[in-house]
Structure 1
Amino acid sequence: MKRLTVLVASSVLLMACSKEEPTPEPVRPVLSIEVKSEDQESLGRFAGTIQARYESNLGFRVPGRIARRAVDVGSEVEKGALLAVLDPTDQQNQLRAAQGDLARVEAQWINAQANARRQQELFNRGVGAQAQLDVAQTDLKTTQASLDQAKASVNQAKDQLNYSELRTDHAGIITAWNAEAGQVVSAGQQVVTLARPDIKEAVIDLPAGLAERLPPDVVFRVAGQLDPSVNTTAIVREIEPQAQSATRTRRARLTLAETPAAFRLGTAISVTLSSAIAPRIELPLSALQDADGKTRIWVIDTQSQTVQPRDVTIISRTTDSALLDGSVKPGERVVSAGVNSLKPGQKVKIDEDSPR
């Protein structure tokens, strides 16, 4: 009897040991995102540059061959600074010719003046004729007019010689040269571009369709391409009325709300367009799961570190995101990847690299 009791106890012990303990559900690492309400609609991002609002295209007032350039692109110049010089040979010859004509006319004027004075003295003594006096006085007036004309020609020749030097009429920065030393240019031909750096603006090219339907509350955010932390807002100053035939774009010039020091002339910028919309929730398509003809997301309980499914309604979708109704609230955290392998109430570990 005692032996039987021992055998029964041993059997019971073996049966108890043969029962497996239930395996706990593994904690699954997941990627997640915090739901945020968006009240701005992006209309696109475009590359552009910082340019001066006011630019002057300068050229010589006389034709000639450029002898030398005094400054290079990027140089800062003051008012009256010398930019370029023409070969002055032609202007110098014109000045010499005008000075020679002036000397000849001055001699004629002196002679006419003496003759008129002599005829006046003879007429006063009663031995001169009135007709001869009239002719002498007329010659004097004619010679005086020729003298004035010769003096004007000399002044004009001096101006032409001065015009062989191209100088600035205001301070600025040289942004472009369109002619080189040795090149023959005509009067008024564009030679150099001078920009005034005191007022800067952003310049971008917009698609013609977008330029025509810009909403009135559109916001332009301008940021440096190399350093996006340097940014400001802007408003439209002007948009070209006609699209460029090659690119079908219209150039837009934007007035900056502020001008950071890093926004130098020629700085490459990125301009983002956005407009206000009704608040909405947008999630990536990887956060959605289709099950039993319904669409759902997995919401994380940050206190218990567990997940629960929630049915949602999609208002619209794009190639990589979906716009949802109000079934999910801002501030909640949802799983953004790997939703097909989750179970209700499953423990999860939020990946440290996931956005928060």
Structure 2
Amino acid sequence: MNRVTALACLGILLAGCSKEEAPPEPVRPVLSVQISPQDIAQLGRFAGTIQARYESTLGFRVSGRIARRAVDVGSEVKAGDLLATLDPTDLQNQVRSSQGDLARVQAQWINAQADARRQQELFDRGVGAQAQLDVAQTNLKTTRASLDQAKASVSQAKDQLNYSELRVDHDAVVTHWNVEAGQVVSAGQEVVTLARPDIKEAVIDLPSSLAENLPPDVRFTVADQLEPSISTTATVRELEPQAESATRTRRARLTLAQTPAAFRLGTAISVTLSTAIEPKVELPLSAIQEVEGKSRIWVIDRQNQTVAPREVQVLSRADGRVVVSAGVKAGERVVSAGVNSLKPGQKVKVDEGSTR
């Protein structure tokens, strides 16, 4: 080997030894969030009460002064139970008066019968006049009509006396009294309100704007305000056609799918309205990277512990959050901070204790 060749080989060896290998890409810790699409939109939550579907307001059939109330608000009553009574004095006097009239007419009826028989006998023997017989028979018919009228008056007076007692005709719960003992009421005046406890429903007031634009698939979730775990679903049975002038709300009556035992009459409830929507995903604003007018996120490959960019469609931005509707799948995990310094395929370390 000549001198020139040896120097060339030595130069090559020195050049190879001076070249250092590139250091490996560092593993970067990242914060991340797991994708959980939202397919339900909340339309609002409203307070309401449990009420009876069927209510009735009772009153006396006759006028009079309230003598006493037999039950209080909240009392459960059975068919035939006494609710209230009127002072029966005047009605009892009417019964006595009508009975006296009946006794008088009965006496007249007996006399008319005897007179008609006597005139008939005289006429049959040829010693009585036809005119007198006709008068006696006419008097008999008139007295008979008076007797029927007197009997009807007695029956009516007794019915009026019975009407001085207000009784319930079905099992119910007393929800409201409109009168007090000693008050004078007229026939048909509202006295007491009863509710049938066997069929209950939820009653809420909805803003007029919402009531007019309820989605056809709206879902009502009814929960006890004191025990939110006690809940059921419901559907609209009745929606008032006109809004209340002062509050601009429309009353909605909801039929319950089930009626928990805790849903007693008057129970305060919370009703949540929701509807199904196209799946959307909410992410922190820091998870979005803008590149050339396009939005993208960094998806973590859990098996290889690497990241890869993916374009998404941003629907809205507000309060440090963004809503995206495409480009993500349920269960995937994306980087939530520091996306501007990532590279495709970069190794990352997901700190499970710091994820959110």
- Compute the TM-score of the two structures, normalised by the length of structure 2: 0.80
Change (3 A) 1:34 1:86: farther
Corresponding residue for 1:80?
Answer: 80
Q: How does 1:310-329 map to 2 (within 5 A)?
A: 312-318=312-318, 321-329=321-329
Deviation at 1:310, TM superposition (A): 7.3
* Counterparts in 2 of 1:43 and 1:287: CA distance versus 1, 3 Å: farther
How far residue 333 of structure 1 moved from its aligned partner, in angstroms, is: 4.4
Where 1:350 maps in the other structure, the secondary structure is: coil
Corresponding residue number in structure 1 for 2:48: 48
Q: Secondary structure at the match of 2:127?
A: coil
- The answer (yes or no) to whether the contact 2:29–2:351 under 8 Å persists in 1 is yes
**2:279–2:325 Cα contact (<8 Å) kept:** no
Give the superposition deviation at 1:278: 1.5
Structure 1 residue aligned with 2:64:
64
Segments of 5+ residues of structure 2 without an aligned counterpart are: 1-25, 343-347
Q: 1:146 to 1:83 in 2, by over 3 A?
A: same
Q: What CA deviation, in whole Å up to 9, does each residue of 1:258-300 have, x standing for no partner?
A: 11111111111111112222222124x5665677888676767
> Cα offset for 1:55?
0.8
Instruction: Determine the structure 1 residue equivalent to 2:270.
Output: 270
Q: 1:331 corresponds to which residue?
A: 331
SS of 1:282's equivalent in the other structure is: strand
Q: Deviations over 1:61-94 (max 9, x none)?
A: 1111111111111111110100111111221121
User: Is 2:289–2:340's contact at 8 Å kept on the other side of the alignment?
Assistant: no
Shift of 1:195: 1.0
Instruction: Give the TM-score normalised by the residue count of structure 1.
Output: 0.80
Aligned partner of 1:174 in structure 2 is 174
What secondary structure does 1:222 align onto?
Answer: strand
Q: 1:276-287, aligned counterparts within 5 Å? A: 276-283=276-283
CA distances 1:42-65 after superposition (whole Å, capped 9, x unpaired): 221111111111111111111111
Counterpart-to-counterpart distance in 1, 2:320 and 2:179: 51
1:86-145 superposed Cα distances (whole Å, 9 cap, x missing partner):
111221121122112111111111111111111111111111111111111111111111
Gaps of 5+ in 1: 1-23
Q: Distance in 2 between matches of 1:254 and 1:342?
A: 52
Matched residue, 1:208 = 208
Q: Percentage identity across aligned positions?
A: 70
Write out per-residue CA displacement over residues 180-231 of structure 1, whole angstroms, 9 at most, x where no aligned residue.
Answer: 1122211111111111111111111111121112121111111111112111
Amino acid at match of 2:140: L
The runs of 4+ residues in structure 1 deviating greater than 3 Å are 24-28, 285-313, 317-322, 332-336, 339-349
Structure 2 counterpart of 1:131:
131
In the alignment, does 2:144 pair up with 1:144? yes
Kindly report which structure 2 residues correspond to 1:158-307, keeping only aligned pairs within 5 A, or say none: 158-283=158-283
| Whole-Å separation in 2 of the counterparts to 1:342 and 1:290 | 7
Displacement of 1:328 in angstroms is: 3.4
Over the residues paired in the alignment, what is the CA RMSD in angstroms? 3.0
Give the distance between the partners of 1:277 and 1:348, measured in 2 at CA: 33
Does the 8 Å contact 1:57/1:192 carry over to 2? yes
2:353 to 335, 338, 350: 350
Q: Which moved more, 1:292-301 or 1:236-245?
A: 292-301
Helix, strand or coil for the counterpart of 2:329?
A: coil
Corresponding residue pairs, total: 325
Q: Is the 8 A contact 2:221 2:231 kept in 1?
A: yes
User: For structure 1, which segment, 160-169 or 340-349, has the greater mean C-alpha deviation from structure 2 after superposition?
Assistant: 340-349
